[in-house]
Each structure stands twice: as C-alpha cells, then as structure tokens.
A and B are shown apart, each in its own frame.
Chain A
Amino acid sequence: MSYEIKLDVFEGPLDLLLYLIRKNEIDIYNIPIALITEQYLSYLEMMRSLNLDLAGEYLVLASTLIHIKSKLLLPPAEGDGEEEEGEDPRAELVQQLLEYQAFKEAALNLDARPLLERDVFTRGAASEEEQTTAAEADDAPIEVDIFELVTAFRRIIAGLDRREELEIDMEKMSLTDRINEILERLSEEGQIAFSDLLGDRTDRKRIIYTFLAILELMKLRMVRAYQSGPFGAIRLFPAVEG
C-alpha cells in the first residue's frame, strides 16, 4: 500500500482521521471502523518507518479506534439496563470529529479575512511597536529553563574533539568542589558566562560536573541563569546579593 502525502500537513490525529474519511468518501455517521483503523494504523507505521516523531496523541486515537472496533465485534451486553439501547460506540468519536471539523473550517475562515500586515496596512504604527519590542529584547536578559541549559550543554559536547573521548583522565573531581568554585567566582566577578566557567579545559568530565553543579545551584536557588536570546550566551548570577 502506498500513500503519497506530505505528512506534515496533518495538524493531529483528528485531522488525519478526517482526511481518511474524505479520501474514502465515507459517511462520517457510518464510519467503517475496521477499514479506517487499518488505514490509520498503516499511516502510523509509515510515519514510524520515516523516523518521524510520532506524537503520543496519534497513539491515543489509534487505541480509541481499536477499542471501538472491539466493541462493535462484541454482541451487545445483556441485562445492562443502564446503558442506552443500541448506542453506537462510534458516537463519541463522530461528535469529536464534527466539532474539530467545525473549528478547522472556522480557522480557514479567519485566515480568509483581510489580515493586518498581510492584506491591509495602517499608518506605520505596527512597525514602531516592533522596533521597541526588538530593542527591549536586546537589553533584557531572559530567564532560561532547564531545556535551554541542556541545549547549551549539548552544543559544547558536540564541539568536543572526538579523540579526546579515548583519553583516560585520571583527574579527580567532585561536585562539591565545582559548586564551591562556581560560587567563589560568582562572588568575585558578580556574573559568569556558562562557557567561561569551563575555560579552555573542555574535557567531557569537566563539562558534566560543571553542568551538574549549575543544575544543583539552580535547584537550591543559589544562582540564576539568564540568556540574552536564543543561542545567546547563558550568564549566571548569584541569586542573593552578597
């Protein structure tokens, strides 16, 4: 089975399902669950074979489809007076699809309107605003989270000379020492860039210890990490003055 379709056109599992329904010219109120489930799963398989990041939501819907399929196969439970007679196990999914479809349409309607800065323009006010926000962004440091620190860490690791990994470094290093060293330098210099902390000695162990030390200090709320923008230098400040 081969499908020629750009996968990134799907906005999510519901979008993919709607696409399959349209493609097969299926009545949304009478979805042949077996067929749709099979096609849906083969799409997921293809996404996986292309090494695409398969968002968890796609799997959730896959399990919902399989659940509905199994419900349809089972004979209706007897003596179950609580549940409505002959309720279609697909009803909830259909409702969700219709709702999503309505909003998808609404999104297209919104996009079809004359948009400011795309179809209509006003007297230069907007660009002024942009200039000020851009200027603000340059000055104001932004607080970085763990993920940005991890990214910075990865970048340094990637810059390592690969041969170095083979060298056996007998230098002993302790986390406490690194923490103390960072705190000492912070109290002397007021602020330090992440890369300055490493200095010229960028062996893996040192980077890891430095990184762990910073994480620990952030956790203890003894330092603050700021970044002046994406990919900018990460600077550390003591959390408390003095």
Chain B
Amino acid sequence: MEEKIAIIEALLFASEAPLTVEQIVLALSDTEKKEIVSLLEGLIREYDARGGGICLREVAGGFQFRTRTDLAPWLRKLKAGRPALLSPAALETLAVVAYRQPLVKAEIDRIRGVDASGALKGLLDKKIVRIVGRKDVPGKPIIYGTTRKFLEVFNLKDLSELPTLRELKDLQEQQE
C-alpha cells in the first residue's frame, strides 16, 4: 500500500469528527489537494470492495469511517437505550429550517400552521439547528439555520445534497 494512503487511513481512523481535505493537507503538506481527493476516493472504493463492517463516507464537508447501514440492528443492541429519534413535529420543523434557512420562527409557524416553539427548542438542544443571528426588523426576531451536526446526523455531504424540495409546480402537475 502506498505510504500516503496509509497515512490518510490512519488520520481518518484517529479522527472523531469528519476529517476535511484541508486537515489532511496539514498533515501531508507535500501533497496536492487534488491528489488527496483521488486517494480518498480510492480508499472509499477499497473499503466498499472489501465488503467489511465499515465504510468510508463523505459527510458534513469531510470524510469519516462509518458502519454499514445494514448492520444497524446489531449495533443498536449494544448501543441500546439511546434512540434519540426525532418526532414527526421535529422532523417537519427541521425540514422547513433546512430548506428555507436562514429563516425566522414566524415563517416556520406559517408553513406548518402550528406553533413550532417546542420542536425548535428540541432541535436547538440537540444542536441540529442553531441561532444564526437576528433579523433587522422590528422585534429583532431570531434567525435559525442548520448546523454541521445536522449534516453529520443526516449523512449529507453538504446542504446541496438535500433532495430538492418537490416544487409546487410538480405538485400541481401531479394533481392534474
């Protein structure tokens, strides 16, 4: 195995959070970003081909070793007692924040037709949603957005990987 691949693999293994290409460049200073990306891609293929319990995935702007999805039932046995699942209300609220961010709570309330305070607080506590700032209108309402943890939890490379929201147009066509 090429030494550089081994180094990257070790860095990934030792990292708790997704490791970015920029961080790898810090360690492998003599290597171009481009080369690192292609080495990472090679590593992803290597792990996939091996068919083992772990795979390398690109999440939240970095790379991270993760367990294979279909092995979840066994992993859950060991990690029982902490299924921090999101309620339907929280998921709906999160979907609105994710697609319409940055936005204020009034906008979430309007779209969902209910008060989102509770769901929003839960998402803030779980650090999936954060306060981005305050809108410069009377009352200075708080503006919300998603966090890096949101990308990590939902297995997304970045926000652009979110499946496109079915446009109202499409919905209209479907109805016709």
Contacts and interface: CB of A to CB of B under 8 A. Distances in A.
A122 B149 CA distance: 13
A208 to B, nearest CB: 30
A67 to B, nearest CB: 15
A116 B112 contact: no
Interface stretch (A43-51, A105-113, A175-183, A232-240): A105-113
B28 interface: no
Given A12-B113, A102-B171, A107-B94, A117 B79 contact: yes
Contacts of B16: 122-123, 125, 128
Interface residues of A, number: 42
A68 interface: no
B interface, size bucket: 35 or more
Given A14-B112, A103-B95, A113 B75 contact: no
Nearest to A64: B113
A107 B85 contact: no
A11 B111 CA distance: 12
Contacts of A29: 172, 175
B24 to A, nearest CB: 17
A111 B86 contact: yes
B89 A11 contact: yes
Contact of A127 (B64, B79, B111, B115): B79
A118 B70 CA distance: 11
B43 interface: no
